[in-house]
Amino acid sequence: MAPADPVLHALERLFGDRGVDLAALRAEDCLADALDWDSMDVVDLGMELRRHHGVEIPEDIDQIDTIAKLRAFFP
């Protein structure tokens, strides 16, 4: 079953295979540190949110480094 939180859902689809307990992430945790992601992962996350959730993330998505900041783009 997919998480009810669309941000966690997108993170799970993209990074679920990295052995990180995404449900244990706090809103203020640094995603780059928790997920050990690179710049392409950031682009993939932006595309995932746009494609599956209709959320437009700005070009400077690399500055959006926490779940709390990502949630700000959801209605």
Supply the CATH number for residue 40's domain.
Answer: 1.10.1200.10
Determine, yes or no, domain membership for 54. Answer: yes
Could you give the percent of the chain with pLDDT greater than 90? 5
For residue range 33-49, list pLDDT tens digits in order.
888 888 888 888 888 88
Question: The whole model's pTM is what?
Answer: 0.71
Indicate the number of domains in the chain: 1
Give the structural domain span for 43. 6-71
Determine, yes or no, domain membership for 17. Answer: yes
Determine, yes or no, domain membership for 58. Answer: yes
Tokens representing 64? Answer: 């959006």
Q: Give the side-chain half-sphere CA count within 13 A for 44.
A: 11
Determine, yes or no, domain membership for 64. Answer: yes
Determine, yes or no, domain membership for 1. Answer: no
Determine, yes or no, domain membership for 31. Answer: yes
CA angle 36, 3, 30 (to 5 degrees): 25
Decide if pLDDT at 60 tops 50: yes
